[in-house]
Amino acid sequence: MTDDAAAVPPVGRLAPSPTGVLHLGNARTFLLTWLCVRARGGTLLLRIEDIDGPRVKDGAERSTLDDLRWLGLDWDGVLLRQSDHLARYGALVDDLLARGLAYPCVCTRKEVEDAASAPHEDWLDTAPYPGTCRGRFASPADARVATGREPAVRFAVDVDRVPFTDDFRGAEKGRIAGDFVIQKRDGEPAYQMAVVADDHRQGVTQVVRGDDLVPSTPRQLLLYRAFGWTPPRFAHLPLLVGTDGRRLAKRHGDTSLGAFRARGVHRERIVGWLAACSGLAALGEELDARALLERSRGEPAILRKVPHAPVVVRGDEF
């Protein structure tokens, strides 16, 4: 980041998907996102990413907000809920279709996976799209009539790399494999479309999120380019993992904040531990989010202290 960029207070966001309860892993990402913005006097927005159809769970929005507040994290203004803005995302998709930058696609996920000759490489989060439907239909209506299937919409990718500088990871090659979905067959926007539309509309200048989303960033940068919008800066942080080295999940036991709370673990222990495994406190130190903020205020390089190796959760931390 240049000194000039560091001098302007950032606009960041917390963007939880209400698909379950917050666990230590999400909590660390949110704590660091909050800290990076607040320490530089920036604005932090809250966006509920609730358009992920079947994965969204009743009650998860409420429990996420409760957990964020319990951790001591705050945000500015009213929250934005993506499901309230479906028409807006649809209009952007229509614009890309009209400009020939996107096209209807009737392939199922299984068909795309079967078409991939070998298991896809580690760096990619889905099987590369072989381009079956590119140039095949004049419009979504045409695709529907021709196949009897409800089409999704894909963005047409004509490059194989969109290099970018990650504020945590450094130079990224930004590899991208094929056309990606921007609108699902049920008409809902895909994550890539909604997140770009909202980050732009909300004036977000700094995105701090988990490194599971690294493969998404080049796709999002292409959407920014297509709309002529300035992208935010990105920092992708390593996720917490279990003792098997895999991303922290239910199989590693209950690391939800709710479970610790129910056992009477104080938030200062949790925040202290999250700060310690981020290089921002000593192990065993107890402190709340405010105290951590006071310690970090004005610090332009908080992320430089965060270790690059994944943090292993053993299950006996609290």
Interacting residue ranges for ligand GLU, rule: CB under 6 A: 15-17, 49, 195, 209, 213
Shortest distance in whole angstroms from residue 136 CB to ligand GLU: 31
Closest distance between ligand GLU and the C-beta of residue 212, in Å?
7
Of 173, 184, 250, 305, the active-site residue reads: 250
Minimum CB distance to ligand GLU smaller for 15 or for 106: 15
**Residue 195 CB, nearest approach to ligand GLU (Å):** 5
Chain position carrying tokens 């666990």: 23
**184 catalytic residue (yes or no):** no
Cα–Cα dist 7/4, whole Å: 5
Cα R_g (the chain), whole angstroms:
20
Residue 54 burial by Cβ neighbours in a 10 Å radius (0-12, 13-18, 19+): exposed
| Nearest C-alpha neighbor of 213 from the set 252, 184, 242, 174 | 174
Nearer to ligand GLU by Cβ, of 13 and 252: the residue is 13
Return the number of other C-beta atoms located less than 10 Å from residue 97's C-beta.
Answer: 17
At which residue do the structure tokens 């490194």 appear? 211
Judge whether 224 and 200 are in contact, CB under 8 Å: yes
Cα distance between residue 211 and residue 27, in whole Å: 14
Q: Provide, rounded to whole angstroms, the least separation between the CB of residue 158 and ligand GLU.
A: 24
Given the complex with ligand GLU, which of 107 and 257 has the nearer CB atom?
Answer: 257
Of the pair 143, 216, the CB lying nearest ligand GLU is at 216
- The residues carrying an active-site annotation are 250
